[in-house]
Structure 1
Amino acid sequence: MRKPNTKIEALKSRLSMLSNSKKDEKPVITVQTLPLYSILKALNVTVVDFLSLDIEGYEVKILKTLPWDKVKFRLMCIEINHVPEGVHHLVKYLKGKGYQFLGKNIQDAWFGWPELLRKKSCAAC
């Protein structure tokens, strides 16, 4: 008699739960996260050339965790579709941190650190 494969059974059970869930319900998947600055600090990074944030309404919350005196972003593209406070709040917040508002389109706002925008970061540029 063959021994049941518990990994396969667990996968079947998970797939069954997903297929039986209502269309309105979304499955919850728990993942480990780390603060952005913790990762940058561990890598000894103080200047980031490009940051893109698209996290469905949590953009401002994440930005407010950053120690702006310890890390700079040359260019940032931040999704604005789901920012509950509105794009004006985001612009005001980042201008207050020294960033220049470069413009926006339907879904993103662009910001840059003025001093870093003038510098080239590579010999080939």
Structure 2
Amino acid sequence: MQTILHALAEEHRYQIVELLSAGPQSVGEITDKLGYDQPKVSKHLRILSDTGLVESRPMGNKRIYRLRPDSFRELEAWAESYRRLTDESFDRMEELMNNLQGKELSEKANLLPKNRVSSSKPIEADK
């Protein structure tokens, strides 16, 4: 996992992955679309391939690169483990906010005069 995150942390590799998310591309297509020189693109593709994020296949005299879904499933599973942490944090925050609101309402109710007519009771008209 650490090698995948390290590979994606580099801006050029991240941009290549973003481009490949739209579909398979040749080195030349990646070079043209991102405006990088071919040796730089090839270097980054080699690193992405070594980490298992992309794979290539020959097509004529070109190599076509595409993302490897398995690596991204692994990344998704890793991120999911942290999502549970944030969900639990939001649940605790919501509970805290509800408790604070309840306490605030209780404190405000204690400030009301005791002989005051509650607005929640209907006032009966004289008959």
> Could you tell me the TM-score, scaled by structure 1's length?
0.26
Structure (1/2) with the larger helix percentage: 2
Q: Which has the larger radius of gyration?
A: 2
